[in-house]
Amino acid sequence: MKYGLFTMPQHPPERGLAEGHEWDLQVLRWADGYGFNEAWIGEHHTCPWEPHPSPDLLIAQAIRETKNIRLGPGGFLLPFHHPAELANRLAMLDHMSGGRINFGVAASSLATDWAMFNVDGASGQNRDMTREALDIILKLWSETEPFEYVGKFWTVRLPEAMFDGMLKPHIKPVQQPHPPIGVAGLSKKSDTLKLAGERGYLPMSLNLNVNYLTAHWQTVEESAAAVGRVAHRSDWRLAREVFVAETDAEAERLALKGMMGRMSRDYILRIFEIFKFTDYLKHSPEVADSDVTPEYLAKHNWLIGSPTTVARKIEELYDQLGGFGCLLALGYDYIDQPEAWRNSMELLAREVMPKLRHLVPVESRAKPRRAVG
């Protein structure tokens, strides 16, 4: 099993933007040093708790200060970017990194972000724009002959060479046919997870209960089978709260009394309540919404404890789901307790993950229903 990071990035509203950015960069340095396989950085524009609007700025700096870890947006909010400009920027990042870039794709779920960019997310326009933008980006990366793409939201051209070839399109990614593409999903029938199944992208599930996560994989598997593909559990990324300390009691204290607990209490649980998503976090539908607290999450959802305890919890989750390929530890702002967070990352890498080397996901059991046309 692989392991990595998924960071929104999350910071308390009082944290300065530059200070938060420097913390995220330090965490990426640690992750690279401890052998984390990958890191995904989110994009938001109107959320003070998730305040980074440009994951590529953080990635561009981290490329120069890391050696092995794969880096990527988790993901770029495609409705808010011109696809031609983004295609060139991603390709340039791929060159700068020597081919260490992943390409995370997202449709955006914040109403205030939609309002800022005049996107009608309530009608699903954001999802339509995401599919169209991705199609354009992939076409720009793959085609060599001039073309015109006339879409619903963008018209993009790959122009002919001019002036004896001195001016011409020339920017393609290092990784061919393109960097690995990852898509995150929330709902049981997530449109982005359907996209992952249909096209063989890396599906990423957030920190939800086992029933929702099982439905996520079913959506990926069925969508793949419908177009003649086979979904691979080794591609499935699972984002989860992780905190490792020398003892269970110490890990619980650092998680609940630190930023993980505060973020859950003051932001995440409040947002889930507003969006009526609290059921996504419950281990049983009989649990009252008022009982879903940080303490409840620590007991039922979070992977916290000593190395032995966390390894056991990961394996139990793995067995409940039928297997997954990569655990992504959610990033939190522990600027006030940096050694506790660094120690948690080190224990995860050096004492937890070696206990899980025997976990190798089996192939999908779903059979393709027709050949790819």
Q: What band does 369 get if pLDDT is binned at 50, 70 and 90?
A: low
Q: Mean pLDDT over all residues of the chain? A: 95
Residue 367 has pLDDT above 70, yes or no: no
**C-alpha to C-alpha distance for 278 and 334, rounded to whole angstroms:** 25
Question: How far is residue 148 CA from its own chain's centroid?
Answer: 32
The pLDDT tens digits of the residues spanning 342-359 come to 999 999 999 999 999 999
pLDDT of res. 351:
98
Does the residue 198 lie in any domain?
yes
For residue 362, being part of any structural domain is answered with no
Residue type, 281: L
For residue 267, being part of any structural domain is answered with no
Is 13 a domain residue?
Answer: yes
Question: Where residue 325 falls among pLDDT bands split at 50, 70, 90?
Answer: very high
Within a domain: 307: yes
Query: What average pLDDT does the segment 18-44 reach?
Result: 98
What the block records as the tokens of 107 is 């449709």
The residue behind tokens 């890990």 is 251
Does the pLDDT value for residue 70 go beyond 80?
yes
Q: Looking at residue 364, what is its pLDDT?
A: 53
Report whether pLDDT(370) > 70: no
| Mean pLDDT of the region 49-60 | 97
User: Could you tell me if 83 and 137 are in contact, meaning their C-beta atoms sit under 8 angstroms apart?
Assistant: yes
- 98 pLDDT band, cuts 50/70/90, is very high
DSSP assignment of 71-90, as one string? EEES-EEGGGS-HHHHHHHH
Average pLDDT for 126-133: 96
Q: Look up the CATH number of the domain holding residue 128.
A: 3.20.20.30
**pLDDT for the residue numbered 363:** 64
Does 63 reside within a domain? yes
Domain that holds residue 182: 2-250+303-356
Specify the pLDDT at position 191: 85
Least Cα distance to 237 among 102, 90, 60 occurs for 102
CB within 8 A of 134, min separation 6: which ones? Answer: 78, 83, 105, 181, 195
- Is residue 203 over pLDDT 90? yes
* 371 pLDDT more than 60: no
Are the C-beta atoms of residues 175 and 98 closer than 8 Å to each other? no
Q: What's residue 366's pLDDT?
A: 54
How many structural domains are present in the chain? 1
Q: What is this structure's pTM?
A: 0.95
What pLDDT is stored for residue 368 in this prediction? 56
Which token pair is 278? 């609290």
Establish if 277 belongs to a structural domain. Answer: no
Question: Mind listing the pLDDT tens digit for each residue in 150-194?
Answer: 999 999 999 999 999 999 999 999 999 999 999 988 888 888 899
Question: What is the pLDDT averaged over residues 115-135?
Answer: 96
- List Cβ neighbours of 219 (8 Å cut-off, separation of 6 or more): 185, 188, 189, 190, 193, 194, 197
For residue 187, the model assigns a pLDDT of 82
Is-cis flag, bond preceding 331, omega within 30? no
Count how many residues are written for the chain.
Answer: 373
For 197, counting Cβ atoms within 10 Å of its Cβ (0-12 exposed, 13-18 middle, 19+ buried), the class is buried
In a domain, 295, yes or no: no
